[in-house]
Amino acid sequence: MTKEQQKFYDIKHTSDYTEIGIDVDYKVYVDDDKKEVVLLFEETDSNTDWKHNFLFFPFPLKLDKTCFWITYGYAKIYKSTNNKPINDFVIACLSHQDYKRCVRGWSLGSAMAKIAVRHLLSYARLSIDELTTYGDVKCWFNPFYSLKNKVKRIREYVTGNDAVTWFHLLFRRDVKCKVGPKFSLKEIFKTEYYHTHYEEYDYKNFEED
């Protein structure tokens, strides 16, 4: 299993997430072998999550005097966490200042991960080494702001037959890392499979830092 496959496998198979707010599942942990502090956000896993995925009209989310234009659904979900995930992450980072700081998410968790990074940059003035998302959903409405020059390494993974990543046509992501098989009309009804098996795809074009 490659590094990028392993990251998705870890998100998918973690069983001890903490649930907070409107069904946000997250985990902060320290990997002493890799010298990383990691913040994970889990996928959409309830009808409530799906409802908020479809609330995609633009909304100004104000976080610590900074306004982020994102989807209303993701703004509402993120706000419901009351900063608990990023506070836990900051505490772990301050205790391991020589470790890499990594934020990762899948599906709805990809939006939470990206919003969390934006929040960490403005709220905690904390530098982030890595942002990695799978089944990445678009959430940015502001066309002029990008994380590309603010995070050392960004990978936002999508695969052609994962229709979940097609939502929110008026919104954008910072990068688009295409993996897996090309789009096929024959495969469109297998969206759930493609959305849940990112550990099977080839990441050779994106493995290098």
pLDDT at 125: 82
In a domain, 205, yes or no: no
Tell me: the pLDDT tens digits for 94-105? 999 999 999 999
Counting the structural domains of the chain, the total is 1
In a domain, 204, yes or no: no
Using CA atoms, how far apart are residues 203 and 90, in angstroms rounded to an integer? 30
The CATH number of whichever domain residue 91 belongs to comes to 3.40.50.1820
pLDDT at 53: 60
Closest C-alpha to 71, from 171, 207, 196: 171
Give, in order, the Cα–Cα distances in Å from 142 to each of 60, 70, 133, 153, 171: 10, 8, 20, 21, 8
Domain span at residue 195 reads 3-199
In a domain, 10, yes or no: yes
Position 151 pLDDT exceeds 90: yes
Confidence class of residue 54 from pLDDT cuts 50, 70 and 90? low
In a domain, 99, yes or no: yes
In a domain, 42, yes or no: yes
State the sign of the Cα–Cα–Cα–Cα dihedral 209, 14, 29, 69: positive
How many residues belong to the chain?
209
Tokens 């502001």 locate to 142
pTM across the whole model:
0.93
In a domain, 38, yes or no: yes
